[in-house]
């Protein structure tokens, strides 16, 4: 799947908008057989948000609203944000992969297609803090193969923005023992926001 289709999506045009990025992504995606007839869920929230939340991919509960982080995982996210005095309306919420998919579909080709659009999206929003939920967005943004368990707990520089990797809300529903670690990560996010 590597061809010029992906190369020029790395370099954003000056002053491009999220709508323009999303339209380009959709136009390119529907021209490829593996993405035809798929449901796409784009980022949601204020364009000038101080904080961006990045997940892996939309889930089935996101279809009805057309917004990311809905359903039980979204409710968990709302509790996580509330624990540090934030609401989802304060954040720009997005996913690395913009289509409803299962774990088997999270191939290198799929990530190679969507990741450049995520980078462009974050350059438009330009949050001071990014919370990266899970391995997929963290690895995509930091260009690493390290697992989330080795990366969480400290900030990493992402193009001048502070990125805090932590466990995905959906993962916390399956393994509640990780909530303490997420809470420790969120306290660091709260302190970072307070220092600005």
Output the pLDDT for position 167: 97
State the residue for tokens 């995509």.
140
List domains and CATH numbers for the chain.
4-194 (3.40.470.10)
Q: At a CB cut-off of 8 Å and minimum separation 6, what does 62 contact?
A: 41, 68, 69, 70, 71, 74, 100
Give this prediction's pTM: 0.91
Confidence band (pLDDT; 50, 70, 90) for 152?
very high
8 Å CB contact between 82 and 122: no
H/E element, 52: strand 51-55
pLDDT at 13: 58
Q: What pLDDT, in 10s, does the model give residues 4-59?
A: 334 444 455 568 999 999 999 999 999 998 888 899 999 999 999 999 999 999 99
Q: How do 161-166 and 156-158 pair as beta strands?
A: antiparallel
């Amino acid at each position: 799947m590597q061809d010029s289709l992906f190369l020029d999506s790395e370099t954003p045009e000056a002053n491009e908008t999220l709508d323009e990025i999303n339209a380009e992504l959709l136009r390119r995606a529907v021209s490829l057989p593996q993405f035809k007839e798929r449901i796409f869920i784009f980022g949601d929230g204020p364009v000038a948000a101080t904080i961006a939340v990045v997940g892996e991919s939309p889930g089935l509960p996101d279809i009805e609203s057309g917004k990311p982080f809905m359903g039980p995982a979204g409710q968990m996210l709302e509790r996580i944000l509330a624990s540090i005095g934030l609401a989802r309306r304060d954040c720009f919420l997005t996913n690395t992969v913009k289509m409803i998919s299962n774990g088997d579909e999270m191939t290198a080709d799929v990530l190679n297609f969507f990741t450049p659009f995520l980078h462009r999206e974050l350059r438009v929003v330009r949050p001071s803090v990014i919370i990266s939920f899970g391995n997929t967005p963290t690895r995509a943004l930091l260009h690493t193969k390290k697992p989330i368990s080795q990366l969480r707990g400290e900030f990493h520089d992402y193009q001048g923005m502070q990125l805090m990797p932590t466990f995905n809300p959906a993962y916390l529903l399956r393994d509640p023992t990780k909530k303490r670690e997420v809470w420790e990560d969120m306290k660091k996010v709260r302190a970072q926001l307070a220092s600005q």
